Amino acid sequence: MQVARHVVCAVSGGVDSAVAALLLRRRGYQVTGVFMKNWDSLDEHGVCTADRDCEDAYRVCRILDIPFRQVSYAKEYWNDVFSDFLNEYEKGRTPNPDIVCNKHIKFRCFFNYAVDNLGADAVATGHYARTSLEDEEVFQQKHIKRPEGLFRNRFEVRNAVKLLQAADSFKDQTFFLSQVPQEALRRTLFPLGELTKDFVKKIAAENRLHHVLQKKESMGICFIGKRNFENFILEYLQPRPGRFISIEDNKVLGTHKGWFLYTLGQRANIGGLREPWYVVDKDGAKGDVLVAPRTDHPALYRDLLRTGRVHWIAEEPPAALVRDKMMECHFRFRHQMALVRRVLQRGRVPGQREDPTSGAVRLHTAEGPENVQRGQG
């Protein structure tokens, strides 16, 4: 008699992870639920939301009759996610901590814990995503430790697993999984990949999971919650007062508490002005934020974006890009932004040697140049 496959499922106290664990049980797997506590935060009533979520996750496991574990990655989250978040803001960039959390916490710390400590044959999450492997193919994958450092990219991965969009295009979360390492992706199941959100809610309602079904869906950055974003950031970064300056006539329109608080393309709430103005550029040396009126202002558009080191899910750049130094692709820089066809061009950053994993990236349509509006990303 074949022993049931052991799948360790991340449970967050929400409806998606609860239904993911339920579906794994239905497939006949031995399932263990693991709750990750990554941040200690209080809501507006002084209640620790992580403790409340942990209780909900524990109750899910009780209902499903599966073992429950709790782990804390607060230290790792601070070092790898939150510190990176603050450093990026100080440099004037807008990071996405959800992407970084998935890369370092869920698909490194949690993955290693599940495999090394709990003996998992595979891990699972409640993300709306799919891979190119069927369940049985996932269980056949061997856990091979990739070398770190200089020779990492020379480590060949045969038949790399692909990350695929979910059937529910509106809920698709592959944007947030875009930096998941290949070694974790090949041993991950996404039970909700073929389902819609409405159907997931229906399953929860039919299986006594009403306590998670009634919860509001978590949105935004977990460690900020409902707090004012500017006030939160200024608890950790020193204010750097500066000016809002019109891109059209260099007129000073108002003042702000820090140029790093603003993202290219976002609306700048300038006190005393009724009409909307949008961030075009930032001058870190002077502390000025340059703004333009109207969302269709020419200064808000660019036909060239540059990137640093690229994370290839397959661990190697596509052959077409290596051969031709350009390739057609679909592009987005925000979750739920419509995918647009662009040409990715490999280039050299001035002052640096050419690197196949980084450099200048030119974005234009296959037919010719086309401006891309700058927006929050």
Q: What residues are annotated to the active site? A: 101, 222
SS3 content of the chain, % helix, strand, coil (to 5): 30, 20, 50
Give the E-state strand segments of 73-131 in sequence order. Answer: 122-124, 130-131
Tokens 């006539």 appear where?
Answer: 249
What region, left, alpha or beta, does residue 81 occupy, with left being phi > 0 and alpha being psi -120 to 50 degrees?
alpha
Q: Read off the DSSP letter of residue 63.
A: H
Distance between CA atoms of residues 118 and 8, nearest Å: 8
Distance between CA atoms of residues 13 and 9, nearest Å: 12
Element (H, E) at 32: strand 30-37
> Around 154, how many Cα atoms within 13 Å sit in the side-chain half-sphere?
3
Do residues 328 and 343 touch, judged by C-beta distance below 8 A? yes
Report the Cα 325 to chain-centroid distance in Å.
27
Distance between CA atoms of residues 301 and 136, nearest Å: 47
Type of residue at 185: L
